[in-house]
Amino acid sequence: MMNSLGVIPCDNEAMSAETASSSVNYLLGNPAESQQTRVLLLGSGELGREIAIELTRLGAFVIAADSYEYAPAMQIAQESHVLDMTDAAALNGLIAEVKPSIIIPEIEAIATAELAKAASNGMQVVPSSRIAAICMDREALRTLMHEKLGLPTTPYRFAGSFEELKAGTQAVGYPCVVKPVMSSSGHGQSVLRGDGDLESAWQEAQTGRRDVKEGGISRVIVEAFAPLDYELTMLTVSSSAGIVVCSPIGQRQEDGDYRESWQPAQVDSNVLKKAQEIARKAVGGLVDIAHENHERGWGVFGVELFMLKNGEVLFNEVSPRPHDTGMVTMISQHLSEFALHARAVLGIPVTEESVALSLKNSEVAASHAIVVSGHGQVTFTNIPKALSQPDTDLRIFGKPKVNGHRRMAVALATSHNEAGARKKAAQIEAALDITVTQ
């Protein structure tokens, strides 16, 4: 029998760990039907926009929520709402109002306790409410990955005071990195090269973190600087068919934010095997926790790895959602990370064949983030010239304005090798005329 959330069956309260990974049968394709599967996106940026597109293609009713009007996913969804998603009362009120079958967090700045309440009321939180809480807390995540699952990481310590920070830096040594445990994308992060950097690093962690408005003292993680060669993203998908790993994605960052990515990254076969094993184990450990809490644990995970110069592979972090660097999959794979996420969430099996590359003749694909600086509305022209080369594409996010600097689009290209693909993607941006008007 179909329940009030439009799924046969989906009783999470009665779900055992054994049945948490079983298939579902969501009602899709008729927005007028009262039992239609309703998906609530918490966060409606460029990643949410692509998720919304894939979900609507499969017949889901998408409700997009964010802190500002006309967010990218709102331009695609059938319904939208503006609210502060860190406000527990506001988020709980929205969930009660829209009655979603599925809740997909697309950002980290969310009152995660409300997700646990939603899961206990039979809603499918993606990948699970417990996973969402763990992955936004660097202390909980590192403890699970290194101390419980045994994954290799950089040496680290946690600190809840300036004195503990000083002791932590003495334990791991200089240079080191200090990050708030409840932040992301470089917010509140500092590199320390000596005792003279301690005070400024502590202040940056307290004032630069994402949750600064909540007040109080933020705990921090102190990590040793690794002899890094490069970083990889291993997109890993958990679905009703189990766990599969996509081809490795290389990346370039600036100030903690992605600027370029390419797939497949050229990796030694032994190193790649280690990376795949770490990705599978990391996601498997999180999914096990979801099952223990009677949730499914389905969706795409972005597992971030450090590749050291000596060939060692270290776990860094994991994002329980499609990853910025994974935007390259919109041109490199038969099914993008967003299509894979939508399929997994809806109970559709994702297999090794599902994550296959679509590239021909050993080509490489690249993505190039287009970051615009200024204050005002952004318009793009000269697109015909920018996309005049074969095997190129462009995604304009439709964000209403920029205030400082903001990622506004992504260029995509394929070529015979990594350097050629990256160059071709960068040439798309160079050919565009980008105007910022007040």
* Class (C level, CATH) for 364-438: alpha beta
| Choice among 324, 337, 418, 429 that is catalytic | 324
| Choice among 154, 247, 325, 332 that is catalytic | 325
| Choice among 59, 93, 122, 186 that is catalytic | 186
Give catalytic status of residue 325 as yes or no: yes
Please give the C-alpha separations between residue 294 and each of 14, 124, 291, 313, 395, in angstroms, as whole numbers: 8, 10, 5, 32, 37
pLDDT digits (tens, 9 = 90+) for 85-142: 999 999 999 999 999 999 999 988 899 889 999 999 999 999 999 999 999 899 999 9
pLDDT of residue 6: 43
Q: Kindly report the CA angle at 393 between 390 and 394, in degrees rounded to 5?
A: 150
Paired strand residues for 258: 253
pLDDT digits (tens, 9 = 90+) for 355-407: 999 999 899 999 999 999 999 999 999 999 999 999 999 999 999 999 999 99
| Choice among 128, 407, 414, 422 that is catalytic | 407
Cα–Cα dist 293/298, whole Å: 13
pLDDT of residue 216: 64
- In degrees rounded to 5, what are phi and psi of residue 42? -100, 95
pLDDT of residue 5: 44
**DSSP-derived pairing of the beta strands 228-239 and 242-245:** antiparallel
One-letter amino acid for residue 406 of the chain: R
Domain 1-125 has CATH 3.40.50.20: yes
pLDDT of residue 23: 67
| Choice among 114, 317, 363, 418 that is catalytic | 317
pLDDT digits (tens, 9 = 90+) for 287-345: 999 999 999 999 999 999 999 999 999 999 999 999 999 999 999 999 999 999 999 99
DSSP 159-184: ESSHHHHHHHHHHH-SSEEEEETT--
pLDDT digits (tens, 9 = 90+) for 216-231: 678 999 999 888 999 9
| Choice among 304, 337, 418, 429 that is catalytic | 304
Cα–Cα dist 45/303, whole Å: 20
**CA dihedral angle for residue 190, residue 43, residue 376, residue 428, rounded to 10 degrees:** 80
The third-level CATH classification (topology) of the domain covering 155-224 is Dna Ligase; domain 1 (3.30.1490)
Which uninterrupted H or E stretch holds 239? strand 228-239
pLDDT digits (tens, 9 = 90+) for 8-49: 333 333 344 444 555 688 999 987 777 789 999 999 999 999
pLDDT of residue 435: 97
Question: 273-303: string of b/e by CB count within 10 Å (b at 16+)?
Answer: ebbbebbbbbbbbbbebbbebbbbbbbbbbb
Give catalytic status of residue 11 as yes or no: no
CB 62 within 8 A of CB 78: yes
pLDDT of residue 2: 41
- In degrees rounded to 5, what are phi and psi of residue 108? -95, -25
Q: Does the pLDDT at position 4 exceed 60? A: no
DSSP 184-203: -TTTT-EEE-SGGGHHHHHH
Enter the tokens of residue 69.
């009007």
Give catalytic status of residue 238 as yes or no: no
pLDDT of residue 186: 60
3-state secondary structure of 20: coil
CB 81 within 8 A of CB 63: yes
CATH code given to domain 146-151+226-358: 3.30.470.20
pLDDT digits (tens, 9 = 90+) for 243-302: 999 999 999 999 778 999 999 999 999 999 999 999 999 999 999 999 999 999 999 999
Give catalytic status of residue 188 as yes or no: no
Give catalytic status of residue 407 as yes or no: yes
- Residue 172, phi-psi category: left (phi > 0), alpha (psi -120 to 50), beta (remainder): alpha
pTM to 2 decimal places: 0.91
One-letter amino acid for residue 42 of the chain: L
Enter the tokens of residue 344.
């997994």
Cα–Cα dist 348/241, whole Å: 8
| Choice among 184, 247, 261, 415 that is catalytic | 184
CB 251 within 8 A of CB 216: no
Give catalytic status of residue 48 as yes or no: no
pLDDT digits (tens, 9 = 90+) for 148-199: 999 999 999 999 999 999 999 999 999 999 999 886 656 788 999 999 999 9
For the chain, the domains span: 1-125, 146-151+226-358, 155-224, 364-438
- Residue 93, phi-psi category: left (phi > 0), alpha (psi -120 to 50), beta (remainder): alpha
User: Hey, do 146-151+226-358 and 364-438 end up sharing a CATH topology, with the first three levels equal?
Assistant: yes
pLDDT of residue 182: 81
Give catalytic status of residue 242 as yes or no: no
